[in-house]
Amino acid sequence: MKGFKHLPYYLGQSQIDASEIDATKEIVSSGDLFRYGKEENISAKLERKITNFLGCSHSLVMANATFALQASIVATKPVIGDVVLIPGISFIATANAVLSVGLIPIMIDVDKSGHLCPIMLSNYLKNNPKPRAVIFVHLEGHGGKIQEISNICKENDIVLIEDASQSFGARSGDKFLGTFGELGCFSFQSNKILSSGEGGVLIGNDVNLFDNAKKYTDHGCSRKDNGLPLWNEHSFFGGNAKATNITSAVINAQFEKLVNIQKSLKDKYTEIKNILTGKVHFIERASSDNFVSLWIEDINVAEVFRQHKIPHSNWTHWNLQENPIIKQRLSPYGDGFPWSLKTLQQQICPVSNQICTERISLPILLDDDDFSLLTRKLRSLFC
């Protein structure tokens, strides 16, 4: 039996075809590679398309989602050493974004879905000083209890930032993920719903926060109508995370495939779920999710998958309590900045520990040949 073609198990990247190639050729041939210069270049068109699709006020295509998170935090005009609350389960990029701008991440435990728990968040806010912001992380296209978290943040006048890196186009109720908070961040990395290898987009509804974040991604400046940088009394220093028009061209082409990608994922998820129902314990996904994976809570199944070379991932690498950057307070600075600013006790997150010990993700493979091989393997083992 031949092996899988697309490993790691890419999502959007596995759907790249002539449309992305043609779009890239057009940009390169035109010589219009820089993000600014022409008012109606492909980046501006893509941002307008994203804004209209998500129903938000502003969007900015960027080099990656990690810097979008950094810019979102800086947009709040924090004070060095401020605390930002993050969930106990996430990729380290969430914590790194906080640390990289001189703030300190404090973990809040998750609910049984693996997302930031509203009860645990409320308990923290009752007993501790107000944080600079709360970052809610949507795991693998899942909404979690984002509406409850949004309500809590509004009641306490706290900025809510959504790390929706894996969740472009997914909903919770009638709203798109990423639009519940003041700012939302999406990724276009290789294994995201839409992919340009790397890339991201920042969205927002608060004009002041969005403007601050946007300037931080572009050396702290605004842009004149002709695309040249504008520094004035409203400027500040910043980084550089502008996307090129090549990135925007690829995502613009991928955008046309979004509905088909989502439908294919849902259909294939349903097929796998039917094969495994009654055989393994899995967490049911909401109908509005992006069905990028099946969540299985059975450590014996992980060993079976390993022995039979079935692609899967465990959640141990998402357990932030065990990541050495947080556990050992690691820093690139000689004085341990920003950990050295405050002696803060991390929250104990037992639910996060349990989930990351027990849960694995079985990815839904978009490539038809890969998916056919996956279902054959699963049927041979479980049917």
Residue that is last in its domain, among 256, 283, 306: 256
The token pair at 256 is 């046309």
Are residues 56 and 162 part of one domain? yes
The end-to-end CA distance of the chain, in Å, is: 19
222 and 371 together in one domain: no
The Cα-based distances of 381 to 7, 234, 280, 310, 313 in angstroms read 21, 63, 11, 11, 18
> What tens digit of pLDDT does each residue of 195-226 get?
999 999 999 999 999 999 999 999 999 998 78
**Same domain assignment for residues 140 and 204:** yes
Asked if residue 266 and residue 151 are part of one domain, the reply reads no
Decide the pairing of beta strands 222-223 and 229-230. antiparallel
Residue 107 has pLDDT above 90, yes or no: yes
Per-residue model confidence (pLDDT) at position 1:
55
Can you give the residue range of the structural domain that contains 286? 258-318+351-382
Q: Are 63 and 40 in contact (CB under 8 A)?
A: no
Are both 118 and 206 inside the same structural domain?
yes
DSSP sequence for 96-113: HHHHHTT-EEEEE-B-TT
| 320 confidence band (pLDDT: 50, 70, 90) | very high
Q: Is residue 344 part of a domain?
A: no
**Domain final position from 238, 256, 274:** 256
Inter-residue contact 152 to 161 (CB < 8 Å)? no
How many Å apart are CA 99 and CA 47, to the nearest integer?
A: 28
Could you check whether the bond before residue 338 is cis, i.e. omega within 30 degrees of 0? yes
Within this chain, do residues 206 and 282 fall inside the same structural domain, yes or no? no
159 and 28, same domain (yes or no): yes
| pLDDT at res. 8 | 73
Q: What total of structural domains would you count in the chain? A: 2
Same domain, 244 and 269: no
> What pLDDT shows up at residue 224?
87
> Are residues 181 and 121 located together in one domain of the fold?
yes
pTM: 0.96
Q: What is the DSSP string of 201-225?
A: EEEES-HHHHHHHHHHTBTT-EE-T
Paired with 293 in beta bridges are: 363
Within 8 A by CB and 6+ apart from 52, the residues are none
Mean confidence (pLDDT) of the chain: 95
User: Which whole number is the average pLDDT over 14-40?
Assistant: 92
**Of 256, 272, 290, the domain-final residue:** 256
Instruction: Report pLDDT digits (tens) over 254-297.
Output: 999 999 999 999 999 999 999 999 999 999 888 889 999 999 99
Structure confidence at residue 157 (pLDDT): 98
Is 244 in contact with 34 (CB distance < 8 Å)? yes
**217 and 314, same domain (yes or no):** no
pLDDT in tens, 164-175: 998 999 999 999
> What CATH number is associated with residue 26?
3.40.640.10
Q: Are residues 189 and 292 in the same domain?
A: no
